[in-house]
Structure 1
Amino acid sequence: MYIWQQAGWPGFRWDDAALLTPLATARLKQGHLLGRMRGLGFNLQLEAQLQALTEDVVKTSEIEGEILDHDSVRSSLARRLGIPAAAVAPSDRRTDSVVDMMLDAVGGFDRPLTAERLFGWQAALFPTGYSGLSKVRVGDWRDDTNGPMQVVSGPIGREKVHYEAPPAPRIPAEMDAFLAWFAAPPATDGLLRAALAHLWFVTIHPFDDGNGRVARAVADQALAQSESSPQRFYSMSSQIWRERAGYYAILEHTQKGGLDVTPWLAWFLACFSRAIDGAEADASGVLRKADFWRHHGPVSMNDRQRSILNRFLDGFEGKLTARKWAILGKCSPASAQRDIVDLVEKGVLLRNPGGSKNTSYTLGRLAAPSAAADAANHRDHTP
C-alpha cells in the first residue's frame, strides 16, 4: 500500500519533539548565512546569488540525469540578474528555459502557485515537447495513456518498481487540494512546509515527466516564502545531488509507508543544514572579497588597480607579477610597475620573497574587525 492509498491521505503527521533539535539547528544555520550575506554590499550579494543559483540549476537537472553546461547556465543567469560582465558563454533555449523556471520559483516567491504556473514550469523543461526520443505531454496533467505512472529502475524485462503514483483521473482533485494548502496561510514552520510541499507534489507525480525538478522548484518557492526574499544563497538541489542515494531511499520508504512522515522531515532538515554548510564554504571567496574591500576600500586607487585586484580576489591561476599585471590591465610594463609600487606602499599588496624577474605579490593582511564594528561601519566599496 502506497501512502496515497492510506485512509486519511493527505493528512500527514509528524513528531514535533523528534524534529525540535534538527529544526532549531537548521534555522540557526539559515539565519547565520542569511545574516552574513545580507551584510554584504549589493554587488557581492549578486555574485553570491549567481553562484548559488548556478549550482541549483545545474544540479536539479543532473539529479534526473540531464547534464547542463555550467558556464552556459551561469551566463544565462547573469544576463537575467543584470550582471553582463559574468555572461561569458552562450546559452541555448533549453538552458534558458530551466533558468527561467528557477528564477520564477524563487524570484516570484510571493506570486500564487497555480496549475497554469506549474504547467509553464514543466513545459520549460521540455521546450521541444520531447525528452530524448520520447514525446512528453506538456502544459497539462498526465493521462496515463501508456499505463500507470511508475518510478522504475533496472534493465528492460527485469525492472524494479519503486513507486506507483495515483491514477490520472485523480490528479485534478489531488492537485486542487495541494494548491489550496499551498495558498493557505502557513500552519507550520516554513522549513517543514517546504519539505511537505516537496513530498506531497512528487507523490502525486502529476506530469508525464519533470516531476522531480518541478517538486524541487515548488520547495524552493516555499523556502523563499519562509525567508520573504527573492534572493537565494544556498542550493538544496546541490546537496540532494550529493546525497541522491539517500534522497531516493527516503522517498521510497516514505511513499510506501503510513502518514507519519517524521523520518522524511528529519532527513530534509538535515539535508538543508548540510546545504547551508556547503554554501558557507562555497561563499568563502565572496566573503573574502568583502573583507578585503571593507578594509582597503577607502584607499585611493585607479580603476585599473581595482579591476585587477578583483580578478586576483576571484582566484586566477598563478602568481601576481608585474608582467601579468600588464597583461590583465592592458597597459605598459612601466604603468604596471607604478600601479604595484603604489599599492605596496599603501599596504594593499605585499612583496613575496624573491627578486628581479621572480618578484611576485600577494594581498596585504587584513585586520579582523569586531562584529559590532563591522556592522556599524560597513560600506560597500566593491567596484
Structure 2
Amino acid sequence: MSTGGAENVTYVWETGNWPHWRWDAARIEAPLAAARHRQGWLLGRMQAMGFALQREAALGTMTQDVVTTSAIEGETLNREQVRSSLARRLGMDAGGVPVTQRGIDGIVEVTLDAVFRHAAPLTAERLSGWHAALFPTGYSGMRRIRVGGWRRPEDGPMEIVSGPIGGERVHYEAPPAERLGREMAAFLDWFESEDGIDPVLRAALAHLWFVTIHPFEDGNGRIARAISDLALARSERTDHRFYSLSASIRADRDAYYAVLEATQKGDGDVTDWLGWFLGRLAHAIAEAGGTVGGVLRKAAFWERHRASGFNERQIKVLNRLLDGGFDGRLTSSEWAKLTKSSQDTATRDLKDLVEKGALRPGDGGGRSTHYVLVQPGDDA
C-alpha cells in the first residue's frame, strides 16, 4: 500500500488485476464508432487534396503537435523554429528560420519517428532513443537525469506531486524501479501483440499503461503521447498526421489529469479513461478542419498570384502570414526586420504587394500604417 500525503492509496499496479484492463464495451461502442467515422472522413478529404497539399497540412499539424505536447509539460517552444525544423526534415522549404532553441530538434525527431516509422516495432531500445533525443544535454531544466535508461532504485520513488514545499500533494506513485524490467517487457509484448483490440483503443490503453509505469525520470508524458500517435498512425495506415491529439488534450488539460489520476487509483476499470480519450480524439479530428481550410486558402492564394512575380523577400513573408506565423502588425519596420532589408526596400516591397492585390493597408494610416493579407474572396 502506497502512501500519498495523509491518505492511504492503493494504485492500480498494486491490485491483483494489474495489468489486465477491463471496460464496459456497451459504453465505449458509440464513441469508438464516432471516432472511427471521423478518422475515415478526414482521411478521405485529405486524399482528395493531392500529395503536395497533404504534406503542407501534415507540416502544420505536426508543428501544432510538437508545440502543444511540450506545452502540456509547461515548456514553451517557438512555433516558427519548430516548423522550420520539421520542414527541413521533410524536404520542404524551411523559410530561412534558424533553429536555435534547445530541445526542438529532439522532440521533432521523436514525432517524425513515431509517425513515419509507425510500422516498425516499438522496443526498449527505440524508447531509449526517443528519451535521449528529448534530453540531449542530460539535464531536465537544472536537474541531471538518467538519459536513455529506466529509473534506478537509488533514485528513490517516482511521485507526481503538486503544491508548495511543505504542503505537497502526491497525485500518483509509480511502480518501484526494481520492477521496471518486467513491467516494460510486458507492456512492449502487449503493444506488438495481435489480440483483436481495436487499434484506436490500443492507442488509448498504451498511453495510460506507459504513464502508469512511468519508466523514465522525466519525459514520460511526451513519450506516451508519441506512442499514442504511433498507434493511431497504424490504425490509419498512413505516415501523415492531419490532426493533433496533443492539442486536444491540452485544451482539456485539467480533465486529462483528473481522469488519469482517478484511473491510476482505480481497480483496472478503464471505461472512463477510454471514453475521455475517444472524445478528445473526435475533437482533434473536428478541429483539423481548420488546418485543412488554412491549407486550401494558402493554395488558392498562390494560384491567384501565380503570375504576380513576387521576389524572394515577398514570398518569404507572405508564406509566414499565410501559415499564421506572424504575431502583431505587419509594418514597414517589421518587414525590414523580417527580410533584413532597408526601410526603403521594405516600403517598395509593400507598395508592390498592395498594387498586386496581395496586401491591403489595415485600419489607421501615417506612421501607424500596417498591412493585412488579401485572401481570395476578400473585398480588397
- The SS at the match of 1:281 is helix
CA–CA separation in structure 1 for the residues paired with 2:130 and 2:290: 30
- The SS at the match of 1:161 is strand
Which of 12, 28, 38 is residue 37 of structure 2 equivalent to? 28
Amino acid at match of 1:301: A
Runs of 5+ consecutive residues of structure 1 not aligned to the other structure? 320-325, 350-359, 367-383
CA–CA separation in structure 2 for the residues paired with 1:305 and 1:34: 35
Q: Deviations over 1:36-60 (max 9, x none)?
A: 2222132221221111111111111
Give the Å deviation of 1:200.
0.5
CA–CA separation in structure 1 for the residues paired with 2:233 and 2:18: 27
Which of 145, 170, 175 is residue 136 of structure 1 equivalent to? 145
Asked whether 1:153 is paired with 2:162, we answer: yes
Which of 58, 64, 72 is residue 55 of structure 1 equivalent to? 64
Give the Å deviation of 1:259.
1.3
Structure 1 counterpart of 2:293: 284
Structural mapping, 1:71-90, within 5 Å: 71-90=80-99
Which of 199, 209, 226 is residue 190 of structure 1 equivalent to? 199
CA–CA separation in structure 2 for the residues paired with 1:81 and 1:277: 25
CA–CA separation in structure 2 for the residues paired with 1:248 and 1:330: 52
Which of 172, 189, 204 is residue 181 of structure 2 equivalent to? 172
Structure 1 counterpart of 2:307: 301
Amino acid at match of 2:280: C
Structure 1 counterpart of 2:54: 45
Give the Å deviation of 1:89.
3.1
C-alpha spacing 1:207/1:230, structure 2 compared with 1 (3 Å): same
Asked whether 1:223 is paired with 2:229, we answer: no
Structural mapping, 1:329-368, within 5 Å: 340=356, 365=377
- The SS at the match of 2:153 is coil
Contact between 1:129 and 1:137, CA under 8 Å: does it hold in 2?
yes
CA–CA separation in structure 2 for the residues paired with 1:361 and 1:95: 29
C-alpha spacing 1:115/1:302, structure 2 compared with 1 (3 Å): same
C-alpha spacing 1:99/1:300, structure 2 compared with 1 (3 Å): closer
Contact between 2:159 and 2:173, CA under 8 Å: does it hold in 1?
yes
Structure 1 counterpart of 2:26: 17
> How large is the Cα RMSD of the aligned pairs?
3.6
- The SS at the match of 1:13 is coil
C-alpha spacing 1:83/1:149, structure 2 compared with 1 (3 Å): same
Equivalent residues, number: 348
Give the Å deviation of 1:158.
1.4
More deviation, 204-213/139-148? 139-148
Contact between 1:186 and 1:193, CA under 8 Å: does it hold in 2?
no
Amino acid at match of 1:205: H
C-alpha spacing 1:267/1:148, structure 2 compared with 1 (3 Å): same
Runs of 5+ consecutive residues of structure 2 not aligned to the other structure? 1-9, 332-343, 360-371
CA–CA separation in structure 1 for the residues paired with 2:151 and 2:121: 22
Percentage of matched positions with identical amino acids? 53
Contact between 1:76 and 1:91, CA under 8 Å: does it hold in 2?
no
C-alpha spacing 1:365/1:56, structure 2 compared with 1 (3 Å): closer
C-alpha spacing 1:31/1:332, structure 2 compared with 1 (3 Å): closer
Contact between 2:300 and 2:376, CA under 8 Å: does it hold in 1?
no
CA–CA separation in structure 1 for the residues paired with 2:96 and 2:196: 41
Asked whether 1:127 is paired with 2:133, we answer: no
C-alpha spacing 1:42/1:158, structure 2 compared with 1 (3 Å): same
CA–CA separation in structure 2 for the residues paired with 1:23 and 1:281: 23
Amino acid at match of 1:26: A
Amino acid at match of 2:238: S
Give the Å deviation of 1:97.
1.1
CA–CA separation in structure 1 for the residues paired with 2:241 and 2:44: 12
Give the Å deviation of 1:292.
6.4
Asked whether 1:238 is paired with 2:247, we answer: yes
Asked whether 1:118 is paired with 2:127, we answer: yes
C-alpha spacing 1:214/1:139, structure 2 compared with 1 (3 Å): same
C-alpha spacing 1:278/1:330, structure 2 compared with 1 (3 Å): same
Structure 2 counterpart of 1:213: 222
TM-score (norm 1): 0.80
Give the Å deviation of 1:107.
1.1
Asked whether 1:199 is paired with 2:208, we answer: yes
Q: Deviations over 1:293-330 (max 9, x none)?
A: 7xx68x983654998697586578779xxxxxx97998
